[in-house]
Amino acid sequence: MSKENIIVLISANEDFSAKLAEKIILLRKTDKVITCGFANGLKTVMENETSVVILHEDGHDKTVSMVSELKNYAPVILLSNDDNTILDAYDKGITDFCRADAKDFELVIRIVNCLKTAVDKFAIKRVNKILVQNQIMDKDTGFYTYKAAETVINNEVLLRDLQSGTFIAVAPAENAKSFFSTDRIAKAIKQSVRFDDIVTFGKGAKFYILLPYTNIDGAIAVIEKLKSAFNEKFEIKAGISEISGKDFLQMEKEALKALLDAMYSENSYVISQYENEVSDDWLDEEVVKSKNYKLFRQIYNKKLEKVIIPVFYRAQMAYEEKIPDSTIFQFADGEQCIFHIKNKYQDSKLKIVYPGFAKVSVYIIHQGLDSPENRDIALPLSKITTKELTKIIDEFVAEFKTTAVK
């Protein structure tokens, strides 16, 4: 900061400026007041290391327009007796306001507060520069990077002893990814959250929002506000998780699962029901012993709808960003389900075939110069669970990755 405080007083009334300048009690002998009119107000502020701008209203539109220009260079105190002008100027970014006929000491207090604000802003700017240099904060948006997300959010929960709140994962819908713009989404998020909410980048084209002391209804309100910032061509999806008793990794896991469910549905958002998930085990020993093949088919169809298709879809979404220069396909119908990963070195398929009995056959086929050994697994219908199938796919992908990159 400058060793002197330079206060620029902008007014169309020269007599008012002169009288006001005399009344201002300066902090030090080196401090000074510069007076000017609206015509050269911005230029004066820019040419001096201005600490505070005092803007004397001269008509609503002219004043509000001037605020929009000045706010980027110094804290602005508006002198006005018009409520509408004060409110609109506040929306444009004034730091404080004072009635034009206020007592001298009141204006001085406002100036002192603005000088403190200027010092604080300079300190924040310095810290933010360090955060950007260390890849903790994104320079363009001011959001935390994904690299720092776990540390930032865990610290926030710990330092504030957060016992309630919500965590949101936000991403563009599949049909909107071609319209994706970080700037647009970041701007919408900034307009939708409060100053004490925490926003970070997530995995891929995603954003995470921590809403302290905000319940599910409050989180939904934030999502609805976000949606209203875009037209019909750009749709967002969101997954919501409550944060009580959880660390970042658990919040992220639940919110991303809910987000993927939202991607797979017509809903704009899905609320995580992690604790209340029903077991996938719908097949008991009595059904197996009965050899009721019609019932087997019904159970398989239910497994296909509730487990296989969602797990394949989630796995594709999760691994597309993690396996470079490779293409992932997934397909499922009543007879077979295929999870296929391919690049120029390796071609691997995980195929689930239903032969019409109490078991399914899982074939793992790798084709490449140094391919892992192919194999097949007989999996009882009762073992087709989200956990078991995810484990099989994770192992299949790990095998692909060992020979996929040359």
pLDDT of residue 22: 72
* Confidence check: pLDDT of 277 > 60: no
Domain span at residue 78 reads 6-131
**Are 73 and 106 within one domain?**
yes
Residue 317: Cβ-neighbour burial (10 angstroms; 0-12, 13-18, 19+): buried
Question: pLDDT of 283-335, one tens digit each?
Answer: 444 445 555 667 778 888 888 888 898 889 888 888 887 888 899 999 888 77
139 lies in some domain: no
**Are 292 and 270 within one domain?**
no
**Are 290 and 270 within one domain?**
no
140 lies in some domain: no
pLDDT of residue 278: 39
Residues 208 and 163 sit within 8 Å (Cβ to Cβ): no
% of the chain at pLDDT higher than 90: 37
Residues 222 and 215 sit within 8 Å (Cβ to Cβ): no
What is the per-residue DSSP string for 22-72?
Answer: HH---SSTT-EEEEE-STTHHHHHHHTTEEEEEEE--SHHHHHHHHHHHTT
Mean pLDDT over all residues of the chain? 84
Provide the CATH number for the domain around residue 48. 3.40.50.2300
388 lies in some domain: yes
**Are 257 and 335 within one domain?**
no
Indicate the pLDDT class of residue 262, thresholds 50, 70 and 90: confident
- Determine the residue type at 323: I
**Are 303 and 340 within one domain?**
yes
Between residues 309 and 233, the one the model is more confident about: 309
Residues 202 and 148 sit within 8 Å (Cβ to Cβ): no
Q: Point out the domain boundary residue: 67, 101, 131.
A: 131
Beta bridge partners of 353: 336, 361
- Name the domain count of the chain: 3
% of the chain at pLDDT higher than 70: 90
**Are 187 and 81 within one domain?**
no
Under DSSP, is residue 368 helix (H, G, I), strand (E, B) or coil?
strand
Question: pLDDT of 125-137, one tens digit each?
Answer: 888 889 889 889 9
pLDDT of residue 106: 80
Q: Point out the domain boundary residue: 131, 154, 177.
A: 131
pLDDT of residue 246: 85
pLDDT of residue 54: 92
Residues 67 and 60 sit within 8 Å (Cβ to Cβ): no
Provide the CATH number for the domain around residue 201. 3.30.70.270
**Are 121 and 187 within one domain?**
no
Provide the CATH number for the domain around residue 348. 3.90.1150
Residue range 156-182: mean pLDDT, rounded: 83
137 lies in some domain: no
